[in-house]
Structure 1
């Protein structure tokens, strides 16, 4: 009796907490958005619909690009054995630890107009101006693809690790070739993992602000549109834009969840995942290892860029391809000056 009463109290407390943290903000936003003039402005201004459509297609293309990078990497590192596979597999997942803003800044220092790559190309080709301008939808998609492929990589690797080898053996015994086994056995079993990665990528891209804000330029998505509207003092219209973005997110969640299907696939068998296949030919094995390390370095370049830039004193690096001075002065100032250390403690 006492235990049941405690459970009821805990459930009531949890319900009140969720109502305060989730339902109450939604009600406040919806109430502020129910303003006739704000609704009229939203539905009649082409810029609002353009920003909303930009958010949708940027998110969809981000899912496609992230899947195109993450899924093949997952198959490579989960199913094939070559020198350095475990180390590389862990290194390639490192972009997930970068906060969104930090990743965008790292991308800017590496591939931006004044970044390492642009300066190197400009110096090599003796150009007067930067060879490219990293701005607009293409720049946003590049940042999203780099930072979000990890979702597909991790989800797909987890799904492959749970596959039952007996299912693959049964498919081969029934005469299915590798392509048929992939599309009729492996992909259906991986569908929950792929849908989960797609949902996470779509939601992250839809709510992305750092990349559109820094690289967008004149290209507006709904997140930057909301901030611009708020800064202009039109709070009711900003609330309408927020509700519109939330409705798109809910619609995307429902659609992606339905692609998972109603059927539940259960693998009954040995419960043993396929072992990584060793690459027999030495030349191919070392070629795969070299390609893997090269890809890992390419994907980790933004991390390495951050580490290098953090060692450059303020004002010491201007037009040179590489920084002329490297020391630990920035770290000394960070830990010795209270006003610089306080944001770090606040974040922790």
Structure 2
């Protein structure tokens, strides 16, 4: 065995151990649990799921797929036109409006749902304002049910389409469209025959992400449509009722649906080759010269900006409402900084913030180290089973968050070699482990993008000059790939700080994060404190997103 093979094997050993112990083994345990009932191997759980008495499960399965498909459709209907408007046309305020268009992405799922409840719920500010303004006896509308879920999903998920399509449009060679137009094709023909096919990979990537996030959606169905069954909620209810066998079965079904959609979209994308054979410049923006059209677009932009920023503004205002001052009143009447003062003075109130920051930091430190090593092995090393390893790395991102949580519960509710003989469920460390497993793919994908652009001759030159591999990696490779590693790590941190579906399955009193405390405050009708926690989350995410973009040039679509 030569030296290169030995290095590759030594590099792969920790990667295989981690992926086997914390991705493959938990998934296998969940599948085994779905075939158990009272310790006996049986198909009864699947018979119960699909049988004549399983109306609730089948309804939840259909609702999950139905909501996810509609979420993809509505998100695309918002995000794709916005991408075209902001990337193909130039008008006053375009740059500012395009920046505002991605603001929903800084709202974690639970915080976004909470903001919509405050705004448009039964006791929301907007319905009551319209009621008082027009002297109505009842509020004209309330947010809830399927329409409420779809509205929240469309608002929080359309940025995935907006960002991916924007990135693809900037890379489209304008000479291809000009050639089609010169050959007599009209604008619609150019779009359908030239532009749209080139956008297919971006549309597929965004559709995959929106579908998977929607399938795993927990906050919107839980808070806005309590009686509306979706599979992610069914898993949670089965778990808290102690029926782990059915929770495992539901997790397997949810995983199969998500992975099937992934395979279908990949098949759809791979039917054709979308590479461009030219090296022209990307499409330039057309100046909107007609005054009526120009100022109509500006007006629409201002209205859209107000609508998009209204949830953020509502959170900021309500975070200033002190506890007990907004009970029966239609609108809050008292405002001060008491909620933020208590965050820094009362240790019990500060604990969830500290827990979220510490657990996200620990998880992302692990993602940083493991993601960097794994990406290097996948891109720069040759070995048998590379495709299988790549699939294993992406499984935690392909699976819904509730499934990842159930996998860890069923794998580590008893001692195992991968938990060093300890029971991890119910301990502080199960949640950082879940965050680590869940967000490994973000770091790997981000690092892959940089490593694939690095010429192998750079590393070879250092080794030919006598440098050892470890020294070469530390002094040559690492500085080159560091922007990609850090950008993926920062995005993983953003996701970990706002993670709710995994947290609600795994948290304990000692490690409850901000998202769980927000839920607790809502249950106690302490809306001001819940909003204050939400503002802390939004602030942390906004800071990290700004740092990742400003200093590392990363945009969220780079990790799709």
Q: How far is the alpha carbon of 1:317 from its aligned partner?
A: 2.4
CA displacement, residues 145-166 of structure 1 (integer Å, 9 cap, x when unaligned)? 1111111111110110111111
- 8 Å CA contact 1:165–1:270 kept in 2: the answer is no
Task: Name the structure 2 match of 1:24.
Answer: 25
Q: Choose from 24, 41, 45 the match for 1:38.
A: 45
- 8 Å CA contact 1:113–1:134 kept in 2: the answer is yes
Task: Name the structure 2 match of 1:213.
Answer: 222
Matches of 2:328 and 2:301 in 1, distance apart?
33
Q: How many residues align?
A: 348
- 8 Å CA contact 2:90–2:287 kept in 1: the answer is yes
- 8 Å CA contact 1:208–1:223 kept in 2: the answer is yes
Q: Report SS of the residue matched to 2:131.
A: helix
Q: Report whether the alignment pairs 1:132 with 2:141.
A: yes
Q: Report whether the alignment pairs 1:273 with 2:282.
A: yes
CA displacement, residues 110-145 of structure 1 (integer Å, 9 cap, x when unaligned)? 111111111112212333443333221111111111
Q: Report SS of the residue matched to 2:270.
A: coil
Q: Choose from 121, 140, 155 the match for 1:112.
A: 121
Q: How far is the alpha carbon of 1:293 from its aligned partner?
A: 1.7
- 8 Å CA contact 1:166–1:270 kept in 2: the answer is no
Q: Report whether the alignment pairs 1:163 with 2:162.
A: no
Q: How far is the alpha carbon of 1:3 from its aligned partner?
A: 4.8
- 8 Å CA contact 2:101–2:305 kept in 1: the answer is yes
Q: Choose from 209, 214, 228 the match for 1:200.
A: 209
Task: Name the structure 1 match of 2:99.
Answer: 90
CA displacement, residues 50-69 of structure 1 (integer Å, 9 cap, x when unaligned)? 11011011100110010011
Matches of 2:228 and 2:138 in 1, distance apart?
23
- 8 Å CA contact 1:135–1:217 kept in 2: the answer is no
Task: Name the structure 1 match of 2:196.
Answer: 187
Q: Report SS of the residue matched to 1:139.
A: helix
- 8 Å CA contact 2:120–2:142 kept in 1: the answer is no
Name the stretch that deviates more: 117-126 or 150-159. 117-126
Task: Name the structure 1 match of 2:8.
Answer: 7
Matches of 1:290 and 1:133 in 2, distance apart?
27
Q: Report whether the alignment pairs 1:332 with 2:341.
A: yes
Name the stretch that deviates more: 278-287 or 79-88. 278-287
Q: Report SS of the residue matched to 1:50.
A: helix
- 8 Å CA contact 2:173–2:280 kept in 1: the answer is yes
Q: How far is the alpha carbon of 1:34 from its aligned partner?
A: 0.6
CA displacement, residues 234-273 of structure 1 (integer Å, 9 cap, x when unaligned)? 1101110111111111111111222213221222334311
Q: Report whether the alignment pairs 1:253 with 2:262.
A: yes
Matches of 1:131 and 1:294 in 2, distance apart?
21
Matches of 1:219 and 1:104 in 2, distance apart?
16
Q: Report SS of the residue matched to 1:324.
A: coil
Q: Report SS of the residue matched to 2:143.
A: coil
CA displacement, residues 214-236 of structure 1 (integer Å, 9 cap, x when unaligned)? 11121100011111122222110
Q: Report whether the alignment pairs 1:306 with 2:307.
A: no
Q: Choose from 233, 237, 241 the match for 2:250.
A: 241
Matches of 2:185 and 2:144 in 1, distance apart?
47
Name the stretch that deviates more: 42-51 or 269-278. 269-278
Task: Name the structure 1 match of 2:132.
Answer: 123
Say what the alpha-carbon RMSD is for the aligned residues. Answer: 1.5
Q: Report SS of the residue matched to 1:260.
A: helix
> How does the TM-score come out when normalised to structure 1?
0.96
Matches of 1:258 and 1:122 in 2, distance apart?
51
CA displacement, residues 291-321 of structure 1 (integer Å, 9 cap, x when unaligned)? 1121121112111111111111112223545
- 8 Å CA contact 2:198–2:274 kept in 1: the answer is yes
CA displacement, residues 174-210 of structure 1 (integer Å, 9 cap, x when unaligned)? 1111010000000000000001000000000000000
Matches of 2:144 and 2:179 in 1, distance apart?
51
Q: Report whether the alignment pairs 1:68 with 2:80.
A: no
